[in-house]
A and B are shown apart, each in its own frame.
Chain A
Amino acid sequence: MFENIRLAFRGIWTHKLRSFLTMLGIIIGIAAIIAIVSTIEGTNQRIKENLIGSGSNTVDIQLYQNDWPYEMGYNGAPYGAPQVSDDVLAEIRQITEVKAASRYANRQIYSGVYYQNNSMSGGYVKGVEQDYFSTANLTVKEGRLFTEKEADAFTKVCVVDEAIVEGLLQNEDAIGKILEIGGDSYTIVGVVRTRSTFEPVINNLSDYETYKQDESGSIYIPLSDWPISYSYDEPENVLVKATSTDDMTAAGKKTADILNAYIHPTDDTIKYQSKDLLEQAQQLQQLSSSTNSMLIWIAAISLLVGGIGVMNIMLVSVTERTAEIGLKKAIGARKSKIMWQFLTEAAVLTSMGGVLGVASGIGLAQIISIMSGTPVAISWPAAIVAVVFSMIIGVVFGILPSHQAANLNPIDALRTN
């Protein structure tokens, strides 16, 4: 075997140009596949990062009317939808896929929130309980969170995120500043970090709705203060943290089922739905994969053509080396030895083509990335599969030439010279 590999390398080296041209089909095919796969992977990773954030695994379960979040400020509390009770919350926390759950009231703000002369528009005011911050993976950047004591005493304190500091507060020092929310004055006690590196790709209006809140920022007030600034009896939304990214869909669906079991609205288009980011991510990923899988098929055809090229050159090589094969058979090489020698040569040739293809594919992907701005993630499993696959191509397309070599009659083979 080692002897065959050595012979194969020597043969390839002796005919450098020919070997390279023979490999070219394989190189181009593999390079194309690696470049495409790297681009797909890169895009997928970016989609996932954008939509899901880095590992927060949170799912929002909100009250919807048809396909849109129910507008509490515009419509008032819907009839037949009670608030989320402690019992219901406890039931949600029992779900295996749920690690943590917190209820919150939510209002999208178009007017009624002010800092001095600035008015806030487009962001959210959320009435939250203490465990909301840990569930949502929000960490304190400055100041502190409000305490249970403050919440119980209906103290008018609030926490804002960085987007609020940047927008509404015009980057002023936030701690101690007073915001006017729904006619009442709230003192800012802390600033929380917005999720890291969030650059959402907005493809449609629904995506826009999803991300708008992150752009305009949120103000968090104690849930107990909610009726003071807004109204009583508003059904809350629930934020759950799934045990893992893969469990997000299940966690969201099950939570929505429990919540829906407790509401009996007269308008049956009103129900809880999970805003499953993972699901959206997967849909986007499928979209990008399906367009690119077409390209992979085209690249696969180029591999097939490359394989036929290898077979063709191997057949020529067998004819050329008739005397060598005849001599080897005459001095006692079994058919199988000759067969293996040529199969090894074909496999080594195409494997080299595969390795060169992977290298040029990675280079190509980088160039694409620089030129079009799409992210690139080199997939090593794909690279390994590509090399193994090219080796298999060598073996498959080497069978016919090797068979022909092995079955040469030594007498005829030696006579030709």
Chain B
Amino acid sequence: MIVKLENIFKVYGEAGTDTSVPALNDVSLTVDEGEYVAIMGPSGSGKSTLMNVIGCLDKPTSGSYFFEDKDVLKLNDRRMSDLRLHSIGFVFQSFYLMNEENAIENVALPLSYAGVSKKEREKRAIEALTKVGLADRVKFRPDQLSGGQKQRVAIARAIVNNPKVLLADEPTGALDQKSGAAIMELFQKLNDEGTTIIMITHDSGIASHAKKTYRIVDGKLYHGLEEADNEENN
């Protein structure tokens, strides 16, 4: 088990007042090693908040969160940074690549924070880019790449540090159908090779690629698709 959330609440605004909004309402979630999990939900459902909590970017208001054996709620800012650096790979909808840097430099960025030597950084960046199918584009800058290729660079950056979890937030949101499908294929391949993937999306077509699906509605997390439908029907 890599990620273990128990009874997570995240409340924005001052707790107990009228202005307080529970973005996460009693969420419990366990992700084991090698799993491929999708969390689906419409905008405003709390899925971004959940992603931030899982990604150790934000701390929940209450509940418990263990990443492997680490109690995330007890980590300070610096330890959280280190945990993100070494154990979590992020893929975002809008790629967030450095436009002045070429693919290798973009991919090598987390390695430089990890104190890897320049030579080793380059070697590992090229390996990661090869893995995502961009071996022939390593010197290209983001503005010389297509959307799908940019997302591949972002994925290479996410996996270059060999993270425990790949956390993807709408990875195909900015891509056309074909490129999106190719990214899904890549995810499948990475998962087959043993990478644990947690993907957050509003698209059920994309979510269907995952082996396990959760649905989040108004801050509540449901397993599978049916439960949420029932809830909504009620």
Contacts and interface: CB of A to CB of B under 8 A. Distances in A.
A324 B106 CA distance: 11
B96 A337 contact: no
A11 B99 CA distance: 11
A337 B113 contact: yes
A330 B98 contact: no
A332 B78 contact: no
B153 to A, nearest CB: 13
B131 interface: no
Given A324-B98, A331-B157, A411 B84 contact: no
Question: Which of A327, A331, A332: most chain B Cβ within 10 A?
Answer: A332
A18 interface: no
A331 B110 contact: yes
Contact of A332 (B52, B58, B86, B98): B86
A331 B85 contact: yes
B77 A328 contact: no
B82 interface: yes
Chain B interface extent, by class: 20 to 34
B90 interface: yes
Contacts of A330: 55, 57, 84, 90
Interface in B65-119: 77-78, 81-86, 88-90, 92, 94, 96, 98, 100-101, 109-110, 112-114
Given A3-B112, A328-B109, A410-B57, A335 B77 contact: yes
B58 to A, nearest CB: 6
A77 interface: no
A335 B158 CA distance: 20
A321 to B, nearest CB: 10
A296 interface: no
A141 interface: no
Given A10-B100, A324-B98, A411-B57, A334 B90 contact: no
Contact of B90 (A3, A14, A331, A417): A331
Contacts of B88: 332
Contacts of B110: 331-332
Interface string A1-26: 00100000011001000000000000
Contact of A414 (B85, B96, B112, B114): B96
A333 B85 CA distance: 7
Q: From DSSP, what is the main secondary structure of chain A's interface residues?
A: helix
Chain A interface extent, by class: 20 to 34
A14 B99 CA distance: 11
Contact of B81 (A3, A10, A323, A333): A333
A395 B199 CA distance: 42
Nearest to A14: B100
A329 interface: yes
Given A10-B100, A323-B96, A411-B58, A332 B77 contact: no
Interface in B143-183: 157-158, 161
B117 to A, nearest CB: 11
A318 to B, nearest CB: 16
A10 B86 CA distance: 27
A335 B113 contact: no
Contacts of A331: 84-85, 89-90, 109-110, 113, 157-158
A340 to B, nearest CB: 11
A9 to B, nearest CB: 11
A332 B88 CA distance: 9
A334 B79 CA distance: 9
Contacts of B157: 331
A333 to B, nearest CB: 5
Given A327-B96, A417-B94, A332 B85 contact: yes
A58 B121 CA distance: 68
Contacts of A337: 113
Contact of A335 (B57, B78, B84): B78
Interface in A311-332: 323-324, 326-332
Interface string A186-223: 00000000000000000000000000000000000000
Contact of B113 (A323, A332, A417): A332
B100 A335 contact: no
A414 B113 contact: no
Contacts of B112: 3
Nearest to A333: B113
A333 B84 CA distance: 9
Contacts of A411: 52, 57-58
Interface string A349-362: 00000000000000
A14 B141 CA distance: 14
A329 B81 contact: yes
A411 B58 CA distance: 8
Contacts of A324: 96, 98
Contacts of B98: 324
Interface string B194-218: 0000000000000000000000000
Closest 9 CB pairs of A and B: A332-B85, A327-B96, A332-B84, A334-B81, A331-B110, A333-B113, A411-B57, A410-B57, A411-B52
17 contacts: A324-B98, A327-B96, A330-B57, A330-B90, A331-B85, A331-B89, A331-B90, A331-B110, A331-B113, A331-B157, A332-B82, A332-B83, A332-B88, A332-B113, A333-B81, A335-B78, A414-B96
Given A3-B112, A332-B114, A335-B81, 10 more contacts: A327-B92, A330-B55, A331-B85, A332-B85, A332-B86, A333-B81, A333-B113, A334-B78, A335-B77, A417-B96
Interface of A: 3, 10-11, 14, 323-324, 326-335, 337, 410-411, 414, 417
